[in-house]
A and B are shown apart, each in its own frame.
Chain A
Amino acid sequence: MSEQLFDLVVRSLWISGTALLFSLLWSVPISLTLGLRKFKGRQVLISIFNALLGIPTVALGLTLYLLFSRGGALGFLGVLYTPTAIVIGQALLITPIVVSLLTSAIESVNPGIRDLAKTLGASERQASLAVLGEARKGGILAGVAAFNRAVAELGIALMVGGNIAGTTRVMTTEIARGVATGEMLLSIQLTGVLLLVVFGLTFLTNLFRRD
């Protein structure tokens, strides 16, 4: 593996992994709320997250570009064309995936678990942790699906990352650039790695889910 290829793969996985961590920060509490509490508007919220599953990356990319651009509302942050911008964009992109999959996993956990935990003296928070533990298989699937979407997307990385060599160039943007500039070999290698990552992770999850 050439150094250039290695750098791109590591940077890609690192950026998308960071995006997943951030996304989990808010997605897990949202999912627990949606999955465990009964409140007015809950179904509407779930429907909205489900609808956002298909949000086009270019739509999110353009919105964030306009916000992060120096002329935009958040321009003072100076994050446009930095890895941080891609992390933010991808974290937002995959939030609906984590929330939708995790919420349904939590919903499918036997409600008796939570009641049992409470009967045994657990607080509301501890009980929800018990539910989360029971929903872990669905949770891992949610995480993997979200990571795969992040690492494979092009629109956000291109529009708010700028495809700058050595800083915001990731696997997908280099694949697109390689095709446009006639450097096919690296593009083909990267596509192989990308497919390996996406299929490999899914395969590993399935192994885990079977036991």
Chain B
Amino acid sequence: MDRWIGMLIVLTIAAFFALAVIEISIQNEDRLMVATTTSLYDTGLLDVITEQYQTVYGSNLYFLALGSGQSLEHAKRGDADVVLVHAPELENKFLSENIGGARKIIAYNFFAIVGPGDDPAEIENMSPLEAFQKIARTGETWISRGDNSGTHTKEKSLWQAAGLEIERLTDESWYLESGSGMGATLQIANERRAYTLADIGTCLKYRHENLIDLKILVNEGRELLNVYSVMAVNAENHPYLNFQKAVQFIKFLISDEGQGIIGEFGVIDYGRPLFYPAVQLLKENTNPQLASWIREYAFFDNSECPPQYRLGQDELYA
């Protein structure tokens, strides 16, 4: 036999065999692709959720930690079954374009304005909007995420509410864009002795691990409210999507078990929860003021998901 052909055949078999081994080692058919905001992933919360979810349902959860803006973009292209995000403005658009639906609010916490311990702009304990105005007035260095993530979206809306134009800010010498995730941005702010807006979860984790010594200067006020929700991607546009599994995952997150995991996460390590469960709060109005803040900030047409966007999953809203 021709040695050439023999060699080619052996090489081909070896190549495809090697590929098959790695593909088979990760059972593909049973995967749920979750595009998620980085804060839920980087804090480790989703690892705990995965562990529990896998023991109950046996399904594999695959996470793409992308940031809210990018996660929704991935969903739009049909590259994810479920999205976990914290950017109500973007979510509203996502629903109205019929890209996804069955939205449930699962958790909340508050963003934090963090900065150097000596606080050169003297913003500690100010209201969020005053703090933003003061930073702009004193020209102390500010690091923006600049990546269209949920935190970046929030930051832009805060500058606007504080009466500053975001287009002009980007020209200022004290206003820098990191273009990176929350962790990297915190580290840059730490090195540059600068201020930044952070989700409290990532911030506490970084402080706990002594990666940053930035101080949490402002962490109260309804303007800093941070609401996390989950949505299933509409399978009408992308028939191969695993819609049933997506709904199953949403049900798990809003179940007592899922909400319990969210509320307990971080208490042992950080002495306080990083995220607060939102389902019972909204259903039973256990804290009327907070509930009304969440409704005003993250509801559309007085609903977490108006009926036309529920994708036939009305039972989620009973």
Contacts and interface: CB of A to CB of B under 8 A. Distances in A.
B261 to A, nearest CB: 18
A81 B79 contact: yes
A143 interface: no
The 5 closest A-B pairs by CB, nearest first: A70-B78, A21-B15, A18-B18, A71-B77, A167-B26
Contacts of A22: 15, 19
B65 interface: yes
A69 B76 CA distance: 10
Interface string A58-93: 000000000001111001001011111001000000
Contacts of A17: 18
Interface stretch (B89-97, B110-118, B178-186, B192-200): B178-186
Given A22-B15, A25-B11, A69-B77, A180 B42 contact: yes
Interface string A171-193: 00000010111100000000000
A82 B78 CA distance: 15
A68 B33 CA distance: 15
Nearest to A80: B79
Given A125-B2, A129-B3, A81 B64 contact: yes
A21 B18 contact: yes
Interface residues of B, number: 35
28 contacts: A14-B18, A14-B22, A18-B15, A18-B18, A18-B22, A21-B15, A24-B15, A25-B12, A70-B238, A71-B76, A71-B77, A71-B78, A71-B79, A75-B78, A83-B23, A84-B23, A87-B22, A126-B3, A129-B4, A164-B62, A165-B62, A165-B63, A166-B26, A167-B62, A179-B184, A180-B42, A180-B183, A182-B211
Interface string B182-224: 0110000000000000000000011001010000000000000
Contacts of B26: 82-83, 166-167
B203 to A, nearest CB: 11
Nearest to B211: A182
A34 interface: no
Interface in B31-78: 33, 42, 62-65, 76-78
A126 B4 CA distance: 8
Contacts of B286: none
Contacts of B302: none
Interface in A137-179: 162-167, 177, 179
A2 B287 CA distance: 45
A11 interface: yes
A84 B19 contact: yes
Nearest to A79: B23
A25 B33 CA distance: 32
Given A11-B22, A25-B12, A78-B240, 11 more contacts: A18-B15, A21-B14, A24-B11, A70-B79, A83-B19, A162-B62, A164-B62, A180-B42, A180-B180, A180-B183, A182-B209
Given A70-B240, A125-B4, A129-B3, A182 B181 contact: no
Contacts of A78: 240
A15 interface: yes
Interface string A93-137: 000000000000000000000000000000001100100000000
